[in-house]
């Protein structure tokens, strides 16, 4: 079964990042993060995902998805939902609003498709 990349906004299975680091900085970054998720999804077992998300909200949400079919490794059918949990983690733990700000520009750029914007100084 071929991998499904339809849930991603930037990564479509390419081996190299098609976005310019200089001219499409955020798109370049989001492609990278989506490609990391895909690689992890291909390799990780269910216990690895639980360890990654931790016992907090993300881990609990992940565990509620699992069926007997997902005992060893999450099935392709739940990949999109695992990705949604992973995005919540990404924008909370890795790409969070800086300096105590309330607006997460990374998250806004990702969901609005404005990732071609460069970072503001």
Q: For 68-111, write each residue's pLDDT tens digit.
A: 998 899 999 999 999 999 999 999 888 887 766 777 888 988 99
Tokens 């498709």 sit at which residue? 113
CB atoms within 10 A of CB 103: 9
Predicted confidence (pLDDT) per residue in 27-53, tens digit = 899 999 999 999 999 999 999 999 999
* Beta carbons within 8 Å of 21's beta carbon, 6+ residues apart: 28
3-state SS, residue 94: helix
Of 114 and 13, which is predicted with more confidence? Answer: 13
- pLDDT at position 92 is 87
Crossing angle of helices 46-53/57-65, nearest 10°? Answer: 160
pTM: 0.86
């Amino acid at each position: 079964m071929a991998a499904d990349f339809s849930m991603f906004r930037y990564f479509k299975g390419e081996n190299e990042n098609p976005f310019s680091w200089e001219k499409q900085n955020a798109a370049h970054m989001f492609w990278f993060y989506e490609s990391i998720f895909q690689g992890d999804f291909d390799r990780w077992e269910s216990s690895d995902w639980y360890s990654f998300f931790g016992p907090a909200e993300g881990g609990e949400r992940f565990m509620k998805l699992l069926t007997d079919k997902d005992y060893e490794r999450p099935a392709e059918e739940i990949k999109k939902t695992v990705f949604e949990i992973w995005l919540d983690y990404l924008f909370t733990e890795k790409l969070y609003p800086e300096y105590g700000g309330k607006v997460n520009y990374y998250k806004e750029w990702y969901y609005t498709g404005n990732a071609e914007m460069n970072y503001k100084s």
